[in-house]
Structure formats: C-alpha cells, structure tokens
C-alpha cells in the first residue's frame, strides 16, 4: 500500500482533552457532575462578552475583520501594545500550531519542559521538527538551566508556559530576563501566559526587551480569565516583523466575528475579572487548607488550578476513575508523565466542597 500519512504524524499521540461533562454523565449514569478538569472559569463567561456576542449574532452571515482591528485597538488601549505587533487567534492553541509550522523546518527543533502544555511537543513533531524536552526542577518548576543546556544550533523556538501547566509553578521577572539574555540569537522565546492574570505575585514587566526584540512572542488567551474557552479568542504580542510573517500563514478569518466582539467587550469587564480572581483565590486557599489534612501534598500555584500528589501506593488514574464515580471530574496527570499526581481547577463553593468530600470517600472508604 502507498504510504500517505507521514511517519511524524503517524507516530503522534492525540491531544488528551479534559472529559466532556455530558459524555461522563451518560457513562456514569450520574447527573449534575462537577467538572474541575480543564481550568475553565466556574463563574461562567464575562456578562459584557455575552451581551456583545448576542448583539453581533445577526451579523454572522458576513466574514469578520480578517485583521481583528477593533480587538487589537482595545488591547492597545488597555495594555499600551503597538497594534502592529499584535496577532489575534482562534485560541492560543492556534499560535502554537502556526509558530511550529511557520518556524520549524525539517531538521530544526524546539525546546520545552516536560511536563508542560502538551501541544508544544505535538505541534513541533507534526511540523516534522524535533521536540526536545527538559526535566522540571525537583519543585516542579521550569529548570531554566536545563532548557539552556538542551538548546543547539538547530533550535528555533523555546516554549515556556508561565504559570506552568500542569504544576502551577511561576517564574519571576528577574529569572525570565536572565534567561532571555542567555538565549542564542537564533532562538525565539515563546512565553505562554494563558494563566498570567491569576498570579498573586508581581506580573513580569518585560520592559524594553519585549519592545526591542524580534525574538519574543507572548501569548495570552480569553479562555480562562474571561470564561470564553468555547468562543476561541486569544492574542499574541511580538515585533511587527514577526507579526507580519505570522499573519501571512494563519487562516485569514481565524478569529471569528463573534470571538472578536466578545473578547473586546470582555477586556472592559473589570467586575467579572475581580469576581473571577476572588473565586479563584478563595478556592485555591481552601484546597491548600483542606487537602493536606487528608494526605494530599499540594504544590504552590499562581494559576487557576492546583496540582496535588497522592499518598504512596495510589495511582492518579485509579483515583481519577474513583472520583468520577463520586460525580467529580478532574485531571489525572498520567498523560503528562506524572503517575501519582492530579490537577483540578478553582471552583465555586459547592464544587470545591464536592471535590474535597469525594477525595475523602475515595481515599478512606
């Protein structure tokens, strides 16, 4: 038979998303399940975004603005970015794909931590590049020296999620600046800030090195902080030169008309932002207070989720399945290579209580 599928694609394992709530409810015969598996916003979506999307609905027979100008202007007004260095996208997942396919030629490689967001390695491999993975520090943070050590003459991209998915670890501005300065000039640093809005620490101020550099891409998403995961809207900040290169290869209408208006409206929803942060932080504080008392080791987090390690002898997959039977969906980190670790996101009061009660039942009865 003629070989049609390239080996690089044949060898890829598919992305493992969090389970769909409707699907799990049917499978388990339980209704009203609690889902804390995909780092979504348990408060729902920004009301200002929802109103804008509803208002725009009659117009979806038309194509949206291929350059997302109104959204870029709203981002420029809020954060002071140069609109010429902004690219909008169908979720930040799209940027990972476009960067890998645009900048990784066969023989080139990209370096990332393992574990970190799994789409980095997959997209680099799909682009026939090599994904080189560096281990985390013993505290489950990015090991920046180890990443630097893995870089070679064929490295084009370094992916760094900050905060790090799935552990929640956070890099401060000083560490990032030193890392950027140590990178060879042939490497582009992709800073994935999908969860940056949730940090309680100082946000990195990239100062001049972002403004002057052609070698940095910062990706942010509306999926988490504004509760718009199903809408698919994100933006990336980079030099105008790199932005014009990526604009040539992305799909022209990648950010839908609805995504553009919803995201632009969300940017001014300070009330939703504040409520989201309050819900997230009180939830994470609750987990940190309750879970160690029932034998789980919790890790510091600056994201909207937390990682916890099970007691010796328990496996993440087994506990994940048992929690499903208790009506709670979280994430086993076995697909990230962590067999005794679980990840769950912040939730409403009833959701976070349900998780802790389910843990008690699963671990002790």
Ligand X SMILES: Cc1ncc(COP(=O)(O)O)c(C=O)c1O
Name the residues that contact ligand X, by CB under 6 A: 39, 91-93, 117, 161, 165, 192, 194, 221, 223, 229, 234
Sign of CA dihedral 24, 227, 219, 284: negative
Least distance to ligand X from the beta carbon of 38, Å? 7
Strand partners, 155: 109
Our separate counts of H helices and E strands in the chain read 14, 13
**Which of 117, 320 has the CB closer to ligand X?**
117
CB nearer to ligand X: pick between 108 and 236: 236
CB of 289 to ligand X, least distance (A): 25
Dist. CA 142–CA 139, nearest whole Å: 9
Alpha helix locations (H) across the chain?
Answer: 7-10, 21-28, 47-56, 69-79, 92-103, 119-126, 144-150, 173-182, 207-211, 240-249, 257-266, 270-290, 316-325, 349-364
Q: Give min distance, CB of 121 to ligand X, in A.
A: 13
**How many degrees, rounded to 5, is the angle at CA 259 between CA 254 and CA 262?**
160
State which residue, 91 or 327, has the beta carbon closest to ligand X: 91
- For residue 83, the minimal CB distance to ligand X (Å) is 20
CB 165, min distance to ligand X, A? 4
Round the CA-based radius of gyration of the chain to a whole number and report it: 21
Residue nearest ligand X (C-beta atom):
91
Q: With respect to ligand X, which residue has the nearer C-beta, 164 or 354?
A: 164
The nearest distance, CB 120 to ligand X, in angstroms, is 9
User: Which residues are CB-neighbours of 70 under 8 A, at least 6 positions away?
Assistant: 260, 261, 264
Among residues 15 and 294, whose Cβ is nearest to ligand X?
15
What number of other Cβ atoms are within 10 A of residue 132's Cβ? 19
Query: Which CB, 46 or 165, lies closer to ligand X?
Result: 165
Q: How far is the CB of 74 from ligand X (least distance, A)?
A: 17
Say how far apart CA 113 and CA 304 lie, in whole Å: 20
Cβ atoms of 163 and 170 within 8 Å: the answer is: yes
Closest approach of ligand X to the CB of residue 293, in Å: 28
Residue 27 phi/psi, 5° resolution? Answer: -60, -40
Give backbone dihedrals phi and psi of 192, rounded to 5 degrees, phi first.
-95, 105
Of 38 and 109, which has the nearer Cβ to ligand X? Answer: 38
Which of residues 306 and 362 has its CB atom nearest to ligand X in the complex? Answer: 306
């Amino acid at each position: 038979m003629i070989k049609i599928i390239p080996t690089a694609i044949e060898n890829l394992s598919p992305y493992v998303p969090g389970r769909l709530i409707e699907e799990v409810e049917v499978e388990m015969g339980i209704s009203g399940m609690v889902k804390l598996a995909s780092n979504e916003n348990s408060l729902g979506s920004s009301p200002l975004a929802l109103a804008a999307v509803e208002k725009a609905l009659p117009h979806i027979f038309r194509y949206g603005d291929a350059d997302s100008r109104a959204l870029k202007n709203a981002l420029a007004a809020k954060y002071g970015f140069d609109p010429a260095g902004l690219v909008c996208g169908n979720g930040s997942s799209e940027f990972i794909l476009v960067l890998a396919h645009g900048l990784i030629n066969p023989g080139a490689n990209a370096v990332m931590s393992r574990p970190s967001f799994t789409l980095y390695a997959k997209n680099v491999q799909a682009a026939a590049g090599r994904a080189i993975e560096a281990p985390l520090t013993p505290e489950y943070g990015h090991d920046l020296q180890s990443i630097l050590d893995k870089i070679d003459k064929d490295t084009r991209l370094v992916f760094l999620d900050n905060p790090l998915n799935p552990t929640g670890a956070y890099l401060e501005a000083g560490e990032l600046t030193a890392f950027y300065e140590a990178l060879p000039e042939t490497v582009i640093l992709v800073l994935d800030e999908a969860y940056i809005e949730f940090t309680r620490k100082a946000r990195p101020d990239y100062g001049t090195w972002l403004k002057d550099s052609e070698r940095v891409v910062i990706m942010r998403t509306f999926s988490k902080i504004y509760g718009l995961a199903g809408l698919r809207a994100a933006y990336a900040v980079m030099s105008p030169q790199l932005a014009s290169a990526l604009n040539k290869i992305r799909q022209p209408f990648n950010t839908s008309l609805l995504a553009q208006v919803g995201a632009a409206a969300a940017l001014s929803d300070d009330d939703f932002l504040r409520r989201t942060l309050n819900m997230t932080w009180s939830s994470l504080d609750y987990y940190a207070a309750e879970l160690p008392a029932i034998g789980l080791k919790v890790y510091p987090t600056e994201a909207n989720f937390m990682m916890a390690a099970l007691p010796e002898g328990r496996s993440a997959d087994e506990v994940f399945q048992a929690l499903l039977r208790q009506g709670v969906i979280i994430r086993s980190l076995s697909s990230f290579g962590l067999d005794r670790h679980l990840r769950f996101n912040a939730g409403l009061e009833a959701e976070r209580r349900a998780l802790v009660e389910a843990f008690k039942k699963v671990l002790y009865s």
